[in-house]
Structures are given as structure tokens and as C-alpha cells.
Amino acid sequence: MDEKMTRSHSYSTSTSRGASPYYGESSSHKDSFPQRLIDSFKRDPTSYAISKGTITADGKLFDVESAAQNTAESPLARRLKGRHLQMIAIGGSIGTGLFVGTGSALAAGGPASLIIAYGIIGIMMYCTVQALGEMAVLFPVAGSFSAYSTRFLDPAWGFAMGWNYAFQWLVVLPLEIVAASLTIEFWNHGRINSNAWVAIFLFLVVVINLFGVKGYGEAEFVFSIVKVTAIIGFIILGIILNIGGGPDGTYIGNRYWRDPGGLHNGFKGVCSVFVTAAFAFAGTELVGLAAAETANPRKSLPTAVKQVFWRITLFYIVSLVLVGLLVPYNDPRLLHGKSSADASASPFVIAIQNAGIEGLPSVMNVVIMIAVLSVGNSAVFGSSRTLAALAEQGQAPRFLAYIDRKGRPIVSIGIAVALGLLAFLAGTNKQENAFDWMIAISGLSSIFTWGSICLAHIRFRKGWQVQGHSLDELAFHSQPGTLGSWLGFIINVLILIAQFWVGIAPVGYESMSSSDLAREFFQLYLAVPIVLLFYIPYKLIYRTPFVRSHSMDLHTGIRELNLAELIQEERREMAAWPRWKKVYKFFC
């Protein structure tokens, strides 16, 4: 490998984050627990060196090199292990998008539209996460994909993508807390005000995140096991119910594909499902964001990235095929409830209710409640880490880069939790409007994030080649390669075009007023003007250049100093594996 690739970095890899007394241990064993707790919130001493801005002396030009250095040296704690990453990859983002949102999607497009839209998004996600995995294994830096956009595309675009992603998760937190409180209505029926449940759920999310990245990882490990077990159980139950093994013994087969049918509202019905599908898959990229806080991303991340394919195939596609077989798209309960967050509109719950199985709908609602809490937990993690990384690059207020001695971006976590208070709108008559606009902000945000990841990977590969490197020097490289990244990028662009069409001419637009049409458009397309409002002014003010292949920084942030030797050693070990193990490791 090029000598530059193995040059010494300004931080030592031999000292893992968490081994220092500043990461959860008192420098004095005589200190009491309250004192140690108070001290843990003090600023990490190493963060002083990197909290400086990255705007040059004239105040106009962006310093890409300093930004890369700051994200590489972020004092975030590196405590996530392989099992945490794998469960985050397998079930970390499964929430209302799959369990509840598929109800309105099924009603809008029918079961065929559901499979087509989720299938296309699934193919794109496979390509995207593979591309992200390649970059994150080599550069496990704070901010991950937004930092890659700054480093490999354009600092202004990285700024826009960072804030786009932060806003997405900042609104998802209250969104999921509201959804969890609505899930309680399955049993509560209005006896206790929704805001009481909001307070409880928000408190749980705050407590989990105060335990730092290890708390987030352990919580997601447990939550994901519950969600994965529930989906596998539903798949087995769905097959049994479909072939006539339910209490009434009625064979269903493809009855609902014939009447009322497989497609609803034609091609426009398919297009209308894309936003719901994107919302359901949002969070899949968190496995890349977590790389900066992983003890050994070179070992853990490739396995976690490969797990995403199986999650898409098994948990999304197979379960949605069964949902489409068990629930007709014209079932009125699919659009029932105060909003699309109401778990009573979940096709998973409706399928079990149709079978007449007592008790199981309540079990499924418990799973949905756990799922939405899991995504709320991920929302705090995703938004806080992104805000802190933006601040470290000089693209957000400096105080957001405050990282305490436990490796927590505590100020950014506080901002996320403060915006989580919007969830108390659940107890007001503005609940439905608030929920709809939160979805509008977060809906297409993921499309921009995923498209940027694919484009950043394409540019990274070009720079890697131009600067004289080969794929053999990469510890992990994307299985579909740059062709997969081009496919992912094109699919994201096509989805944006399809959503523009659906936005200006939604299903049933002939009978809608002009004000309703405008509302429908902005609820579908609000993320686009938000991204442009961040990108264009920043581009004009700081005159950021598009990053050229020959000038890309391909060195800063590589954690292992002897990466070339480690890769060669691992490949010698792999050559000695039996064939079955090679096949298994390729897929898993």
C-alpha cells in the first residue's frame, strides 16, 4: 500500500475510547458515585483541540482538510461490538414504517404496489449500504455519510446533507413517541391522556441515551431481538393462516389478489407507495454512522452490512407478501384511526384479527410499541451524532461539538430531546396536522441521504483509482461495486421524479381544491426546498469547490496504521477456509 496510507495519525489506535479514566472511570477511586456522575458530564479534554471552526482566516473558504481531521479525531466512545452492529443492521430501523405505515400504503396501491415499491427500495438499499460499508470500514469517522459528502463531493453538499439528516431524525423522535402513545390506545381507549404516555416513553429514551453509545447498543440489541422474533413468528403464522390453518380453517390463497385485486390506482398507486417505503427503510444507514463508535469496525462492519440483504429479503419482502395475501386493500380499518400512526391500522394486527385469534393482536401491539421506541432511540443517536459532526467540521454552532468524558455528545443529545417535547402535541387537537408535517419533513430526506452515499462512493472510487490505489488495498469493498452505486443513485433520482408527479397530481386530484393540492404537494416534497435552502446559500457564501479526484483526502481517518499488513494476513487466513465457510462468509 502507498506509504501515505499508513502514515501516523494524530491519535493512537492502541488506546481505545473507553479505556481512559475519562470514559466512565474516576481518576480517583475515592470519589463518590454522585461526584463521578457529575464529572462524567464535563468536557472530554481531547475535544478542545478539535472544536475549532474549519473556516479559513478570511472567513469565506471552507477548509476541507481540517474538517476531515476533526471528524477523524472525534472523542466519541468506541464501545459498540459486533453483536450490537449486527442487530442494528438486522432490525434497528424496523418501526412504524413497516408495522403501521404499510396499512395506508396497501390501501393506496394494493398488494402488488407494496411489493414492487418495497422491492425497488430494497434493491437500492442493498447497493447503498454496501457502498457505505466500503467507505465506513476504511474511514470510521464521526458523521459518516455527511462527512463523506463533504470530503468526496462538495463541502456545501455535505453541509446540506448533514442538516437534512439531522432534521430527519429530530422530527422522527416526536413522531415515534406519538406513535407509541397511540399504540397504547389499543387498550387505553382514551381513559388516560396521551401526554402521560408521551412523558413515560420520552423518559425511557432519554435514560437509554444517557448511558452513552453502549446503552444505545444494548437497547437496540434487545429491541431488535424482539422485533426479529415477532416478524419471524408472523411469517410462520401468516403461512399457516393462508393455507387454512386458522381457527375457521378457511383457505385464503390469492383470493384478495383476485378480489379486490393486486393493483389499486395503477402506476400512480405504485408511485404513491415510495414515500412510505422510504420511511420504512429509513435508519438502515445507521450502521455506517455507528462505525465511528465501534471498537473494531474493520471486523464488525462487513458482517453487519451483509446482514442488511437478509433483513430486506426476509423481514420486508416476505412479510409484506403475506400481508397482501391476508388483508384486502379495501379493508376500511387500513385508514382507520386518528392518524397513520395508529396501530389499529396496522395490516399485521388486522391480519391476526381477521383470523379470529384472541390475545395475539395485543401481543403484536406490544411489539409495535417496542419497535417505535427503538426507532425513537435511534433518532436521538442519529441526530445527536450528526449535529456533533457538523459542529466539528465548522458547519454548525461550536457548542454542539461538546462531548463529555463518557464519549457522549451531550449538548446535541439535549437538543434532540428538547425537540422530542413536540410529542406532547399528541394530547391536543393539532396532533394529526403535526404528525403529517413531521412525516413530510422526514419522508424524502432519506432519498437524498441514500443518493448522496451512492454518489460519494462513485467519487471515492474514482479518487482511489486516480491516486494510484487498487481494490486489493481495501479491507472491504462493495459487492455490486460502482455499478451498484450508479443503480442506487439512479433509483433515488427516479423516486424523486415519481414523487414530484404524485405531488402535483395525487390520486383523486380532480376532486381536490387548490389549497388541498398545495398541501399534498408540500407534504410529499417538503424535503427538497429544505435541502436547497441549506445548499445554495452555503455554496454562495463560502464558495466551496467541488472536490477533484486528485486532491481528495484518502488518508485521514484510517484507524489502523498497518492496514496493508492486516489485510494480507486476513486474506491468507481466508484462503485456508473450507469452501462452505467461504460461501457462508460471502453472504453473511
Pick the range with the lowest mean pLDDT from 17-31, 86-100, 164-178, 464-478: 17-31
Contacts of 280 (CB under 8 A, 6+ apart): 97, 98, 101, 102, 118, 121, 316
Pick the range with the lowest mean pLDDT from 27-36, 122-131, 145-154, 575-584: 27-36
Residue type, 35: Q
Q: Select the more confidently predicted residue: 25 or 468.
A: 468
| Closest by CA position to 586, among listed 461, 476, 457 | 476
Give backbone dihedrals phi and psi of 522, rounded to 5 degrees, phi first. Answer: -70, -30
* pLDDT tens figures, 222-244: 998 998 898 999 999 999 999 98
On whether residue 33 sits in a domain, the answer given is no
User: What is residue 386's three-state secondary structure?
Assistant: helix
CB 404, CB 75: distance < 8 Å = no
pTM over 0.75: yes
On whether residue 409 sits in a domain, the answer given is yes
CATH number of the domain within which 417 lies: 1.20.1740.10
Q: Average pLDDT, stretch 313-340?
A: 81
- Looking at residue 341, what is its pLDDT? 55
User: What is residue 62's three-state secondary structure?
Assistant: strand
Q: Select the more confidently predicted residue: 328 or 181.
A: 328
- Looking at residue 61, what is its pLDDT? 64
Residue at grid coordinates 435508519? 283
* pLDDT tens figures, 49-99: 444 445 444 445 677 778 878 888 888 888 888 888 888 877 767 877 788
Q: Average pLDDT, stretch 40-49?
A: 66
- Looking at residue 129, what is its pLDDT? 93
- Looking at residue 51, what is its pLDDT? 43
Q: How many CA atoms lie within 13 A of 509 on its CB side?
A: 17
* pLDDT tens figures, 386-436: 999 999 888 999 899 898 888 899 999 999 999 988 888 766 666 666 667
- Looking at residue 5, what is its pLDDT? 42
Domain count along the chain: 1
Cell of 123: 434493491
Contacts of 169 (CB under 8 A, 6+ apart): 378, 379, 380, 382, 383, 386, 416, 442
Report whether pLDDT(439) > 90: no
On whether residue 37 sits in a domain, the answer given is no
- Looking at residue 325, what is its pLDDT? 94
**pLDDT class of 29 with cuts at 50, 70, 90:** low
On whether residue 362 sits in a domain, the answer given is yes
* pLDDT tens figures, 482-533: 999 999 999 999 999 988 888 888 877 777 788 778 877 877 788 888 899 9
d(CA 72, CA 552) in angstroms, rounded, equals 15
* pLDDT tens figures, 261-272: 899 888 888 888
Residue 7 DSSP label? P
| Closest by CA position to 50, among listed 71, 70, 66 | 70
* pLDDT tens figures, 96-138: 778 888 888 899 899 999 999 999 999 999 999 999 999 999 9
Give backbone dihedrals phi and psi of 320, rounded to 5 degrees, phi first. Answer: -75, -30
d(CA 86, CA 115) in angstroms, rounded, equals 25
CA angle 210, 211, 212 (to 5 degrees): 85
d(CA 23, CA 40) in angstroms, rounded, equals 7
On whether residue 142 sits in a domain, the answer given is yes
Contacts of 512 (CB under 8 A, 6+ apart): 506, 520
On whether residue 363 sits in a domain, the answer given is yes
Q: Is the dihedral of CA 504, 508, 514, 520 positive or negative?
A: negative
Report whether pLDDT(19) > 70: no
Q: Select the more confidently predicted residue: 252 or 434.
A: 252
Pick the range with the lowest mean pLDDT from 187-201, 223-237, 560-574: 560-574
Pick the range with the lowest mean pLDDT from 398-402, 454-458, 532-536: 398-402
- Looking at residue 4, what is its pLDDT? 41
d(CA 294, CA 231) in angstroms, rounded, equals 27
- Looking at residue 193, what is its pLDDT? 79
On whether residue 35 sits in a domain, the answer given is no
- Looking at residue 133, what is its pLDDT? 93
Q: What percent of the chain clears pLDDT 90, i.e. is strictly above it?
A: 31
Q: Average pLDDT, stretch 130-157?
A: 92
Range(s) of the domain holding residue 210 = 3-28+42-587
Residue at grid coordinates 461538546? 402
On whether residue 372 sits in a domain, the answer given is yes
